């Protein structure tokens, strides 16, 4: 039950994130819905395809479809009340990657995969929807910039597996690992911490 709640919360966060950036790009209502939908289910779809789940999760559970539509409606109705659009987009995107990282990790565990593969699966689940969103909105995907993004997901996944050796309560595992993703990303953006670029300017 807790796992399903986390999955739904991640869907809401990413759907709102997609809707906000689509509205910022002045898309029509249909475009906003499509971007929100792709952002919310893109990573989960890739995850399910990779581990052989057919049909993919959101096709078997209409709750996710209703949640996305509701999230888009909420974003449209209250778009003028959502102050600081950029900060709102960043917040929902950060919450989304934290929750989806854990969903991907847990899905990998349920499939009997190695912890390293589970962390990779969680990172892809968290990042791929945002990649599709940014590509469709003609933006350079955040994960391909110097910002700490996928790294935060990896650290959250590592935290999850380390704490599994000491904590038996899965709820605490989810909360702590999720907070690690959020805090790492917030600190990285606040203090402008980024990974070094491999590109060097020629003299």
Helix axes of 170-190 and 2-24: crossing angle, nearest 10 degrees: 30
- So what's the pLDDT on residue 43? 95
- So what's the pLDDT on residue 158? 97
- CB-based contacts of 65: which residues, under 8 Å, 6+ apart? 58
Q: What is the 3-state secondary structure (H, E, C) of 70-117?
A: HHHHHHHHCCCCCCCHHHHHHHHHHHHHHHHHHHHHHHHHHCCCCHHH
The two tokens of residue 92 are 């929902």
Mean pLDDT by 10 residues, the chain (203 residues): 83 91 92 96 95 92 95 88 67 91 94 96 95 93 80 96 90 93 92 74 54
| Global model pTM greater than 0.85 | yes
- So what's the pLDDT on residue 196? 75
Closest Cα to residue 27, out of 75, 95, 88? 75
Q: Report the C-alpha gap between 49 and 195 in whole angstroms.
A: 30
- So what's the pLDDT on residue 86? 60
- So what's the pLDDT on residue 123? 96
- CB-based contacts of 51: which residues, under 8 Å, 6+ apart? 107, 108, 111, 113, 121
What distances in angstroms separate CA 142 from CA 47, 58, 63, 65, 128, one per listed residue? 19, 25, 28, 25, 10
- So what's the pLDDT on residue 146? 64
What is the sign of the dihedral through the CA atoms of 33, 35, 40 and 45? positive
Domain extents in the chain: 2-142
Round the CA-based radius of gyration of the chain to a whole number and report it.
17
Q: DSSP alpha helices (H): ranges in 111-197?
A: 115-136, 150-163, 170-190
């Amino acid at each position: 039950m807790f796992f399903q709640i986390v999955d739904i919360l991640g869907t809401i966060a990413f759907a709102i994130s997609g809707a906000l950036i689509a509205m910022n790009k002045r898309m029509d209502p249909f475009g906003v819905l499509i971007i929100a939908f792709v952002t919310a289910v893109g990573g989960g779809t890739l995850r399910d395809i990779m581990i052989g789940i057919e049909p993919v999760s959101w096709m078997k559970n209409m709750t996710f479809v209703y949640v996305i539509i509701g999230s888009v409606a909420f974003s449209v109705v209250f778009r003028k009340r959502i102050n600081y659009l950029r900060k709102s987009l960043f917040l929902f995107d950060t919450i989304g990657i934290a929750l989806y990282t854990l969903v991907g990790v847990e899905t990998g565990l349920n499939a009997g995969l190695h912890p390293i593969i589970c962390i990779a699966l969680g990172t892809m689940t968290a990042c791929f929807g945002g990649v599709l969103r940014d590509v469709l909105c003609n933006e350079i995907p955040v994960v391909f910039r110097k910002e700490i993004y996928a790294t935060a997901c990896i650290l959250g996944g590592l935290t999850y597996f380390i704490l599994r050796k000491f904590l038996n309560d899965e709820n605490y595992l989810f909360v702590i690992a999720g907070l690690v993703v959020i805090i790492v990303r917030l600190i990285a953006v606040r203090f402008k911490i980024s990974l070094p670029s491999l590109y060097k300017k020629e003299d």
